[in-house]
Amino acid sequence: MDRWVKLFANKKTIAAVFLVIMMILGVVLWQLDKKVTSQTLERLSDQLSLALNNQLEKERSTALRYALILSQNTALNDALENDDEDKGFKILSEGMESIKVNTDALIRSQVITSDYIIFARSWDNSYAGMPLEFLRPDLLYFQTHRNPRSAIEVGRKLGVKATVPVYRSDKMLGFVEVVSFFESTQDYFDRLGVKMYVLMDAQFYDTAVFMQENPAIGKEYILANPKYTQSDLKLLGGVNFNVLKHSRVISSGGRYLFYEPMKNGAGETIGAFVFSLSPKQIKTYAHSDEEDISFLIHLSRNELYDVMVKKSFDNALFQSVYDKDLLYLKDTVAPEDRELFLQEAHDRLDAYSKEELIGIMLDYKVNKKIKGEIR
């Protein structure tokens, strides 16, 4: 009998030890999984930020290029000077239609008078004559600057706006503008299977009159996406944005959400970009090669190099954002626009001292070395 009692006691002891071991292993595995997930989320956050900046830079550069070309259109400038709205609309609409037919690119352009009144719009001229002074505070920048600029701005609608002031004999005629509403950036992330939400700060409700019917996301934001579902609204409605801003990544509503601030041309935060991924996507990326920097965004080597160069340019000795963009665009200018670009670059660089030009050149040569290091 004692023998059976001892045997039973030994089995209980073994089972208890085995249970403790299993519990320890479970905790260790849970901790390891938690650590891997945390590292994956951090990597994803960085790469989503990089991909977003790359796509937004493309939108800004494309808009600026078209705006610069339009600003040199003599017939359009004549129409603006002569206050011929019908001719201005005809030139804009025909030009943008030609671009769409030949390149399948949807370009929206408009001309604004020097006193901030819509002169003509390529996509809809029914608003010609509407004043913009109180809706476009960013235009006040050109009261003290003659340089074009391309940035995310709030007008009657949130979007990327490339604005070029037009002068004739030192007299300002007005502005040529090309606008986009994040379509190409949205399409890019859609192809990756990543949901991107464009959120405008609710403080701009009165300014963005074309977005006043858009869904409000709590008291903080207004959703700018043209397409959305009730599931999207439910997901965003359950987000604690104070926590998301602070941590950049949170789990909410069965999804992982990533935060990136949206800044205008003055560097002010005017909204946010929020990305949504499923737990399944996170697990997939967790097993990707950590040394493959493009495991999510699939940036080509040249695209990654461009992003890194542009970021480095921000620290160079430029006198304005426009000058940085001008130099950054030098390798993307079409042959037929080369002469115009070189003249503009010459006029801008002529304002720099010898020491400043040397500083810019040295910075650029150092950046060129990046290309050989990307794998």
pLDDT in tens, 69-110: 899 889 999 999 999 999 999 999 888 888 888 877 788 999
Q: Is 31 a residue whose pLDDT tops 50?
A: no
Residue 88: its pLDDT value, please?
92
CA distance 108 to 87: 17
Give me the mean pLDDT over the 36-42 stretch: 76
Residue 169: its pLDDT value, please?
87
**CA angle in degrees (0–180, nearest 5) for 43-222-307:** 35
Residue 248: its pLDDT value, please?
92
Residue 126: its pLDDT value, please?
79
Quote the pTM value: 0.70
Q: For the chain, what percent of residues have pLDDT higher than 90?
A: 40
Strand, helix or coil for residue 168 = strand
Which residues sit opposite 263 in a β-bridge?
A: 269
- Asked if 64 and 179 touch (Cβ cutoff 8 Å), the reply is no
| pLDDT band, residue 131 (cuts 50/70/90) | confident
Residue 59: its pLDDT value, please?
92
Question: 288 — phi, psi (to 5°)?
Answer: -80, 160
Q: What is the DSSP letter of 139?
A: G
Higher local confidence (pLDDT), 347 or 364: 347
- Work out whether strand 149-154 and strand 216-217 pair parallel, antiparallel, or are unpaired: unpaired
Residue 374: its pLDDT value, please?
32
Q: For the chain, what percent of residues have pLDDT higher than 70?
A: 67
Poorest-confidence range of 1-5, 265-269, 279-283, 284-288?
1-5
Residue 365: its pLDDT value, please?
41
Run of H or E residues at 164 = strand 158-168
Give me the mean pLDDT over the 104-128 stretch: 87
